[in-house]
Amino acid sequence: MTLLKSEFKSLFRGLVLWTGILALILIIVMAFFPFMKAGVLADLIEVNRSVFPMPLLALFGLARVPIFSNVTIYFAFVMQYFNVAVVIYASLRGAASLNKEERDGTITYLYAQPITRSGIVAEKMAANFWAYGMLVMILWALALILALIFSTGSQAVWEMLFQVSQIYLGTFVIGIIFMALGFFFSAIIANLWKARTVAIALVLGTYLMGVISSLADAVEFLKVLSPLNLFDPSRIIARGIDLRDLSLWGGMVIIVVIMTFVSYSKKDFKIT
């Protein structure tokens, strides 16, 4: 528990910063809803469809722009971008968690204490999951408030809050997946920047895979490899969270977490 507390303390400043920035962006973007609900964006895209090729529109999530008839549809549209930012936070946190001690030389203090390597991994994971959970919870609470503020009344309140909550559950799941992958990279790649680069490349790579999967039926199977696509907010409000996808990626997270424990317990620490 000592490491968990000190790790959380060290994460706290970054958590406040990220939460503040994301909350501000969410507020600003949601404030545009009254102007967007009449289908302004959809019309704009429709008019310019010939100018922008479909792959480009798909890349930016504009292949199919819905009419924002209620706030949750608009919120789901906004959240597809927002999710990328949240997932980058989770991914960076994971990728910097274990190797940071080696880079900073603080591993010589930490591992001189009566703690096992598994203990280090477990407590660092717990602190990072806790920090990430707090970020998502705060943004979720803010989103509920914003949904109530900007509600048009065309949707039952409980339904609106339930859909927003489902979207955030999806966000939380995606972040956990990429954070777990980040942990693994931080266990096997001693260089912090390399680990972060690989983690971010994976986020963007799987996002692109999701985009490609939406362009042609022949490559639709690729969407399974893209958590950002599988737990896409618009998809969630249309069909809910697919339990099969959740189980698949849940299993993947468990495997990656086990691999992290095993790799970390066998590695030679690089001490400068």
| Residues forming the site for other proteins (CB under 8 A) | 2-3, 6, 10, 104-109, 111-117, 119, 266, 268-269, 271-272
Select from 87, 123, 102, 260 the least CA-distant residue to 194.
102
8 contacts 131 by C-beta, under 8 angstroms: yes
Closest to other proteins by CB, 96 or 107: 107
The distance of closest approach from Cβ of residue 110 to other proteins in the complex, given in angstroms and rounded to an integer, is 9
Nearer to other proteins, 8 or 172 (CB): 8
Nearest approach, Cβ of residue 111 and other proteins (Å): 6
Q: How far is the CB of 107 from other proteins (least distance, A)?
A: 7
Three-state SS at 193: helix
- Cβ–Cβ < 8 Å for 87, 203: yes
- For other proteins, the closer CB: 131 or 167: 131
User: Which amino acid does the sequence have at 122?
Assistant: A
Side chain identity, residue 82? F
d(CA 139, CA 157): 19
The residue among 1 and 243 lying less far from other proteins, judged by its C-beta, is 1
147-160: b (≥16 Cβ within 10 Å) or e: beebbeeebeeeeb
The residue (of 130 and 269) whose beta carbon lies closer to other proteins is 269
Contacts of 269 (CB under 8 A, 6+ apart): 102, 107, 111
Residues 6+ apart with CB under 8 A from 223: 209, 210, 213, 214, 229, 230
Shortest distance in whole angstroms from residue 100 CB to other proteins: 10
Shortest gap between Cβ of 268 and other proteins (angstroms)? 4
Q: How far is the CB of 65 from other proteins (least distance, A)?
A: 47
Residue number, 17 or 31, with CB nearest to other proteins? 17
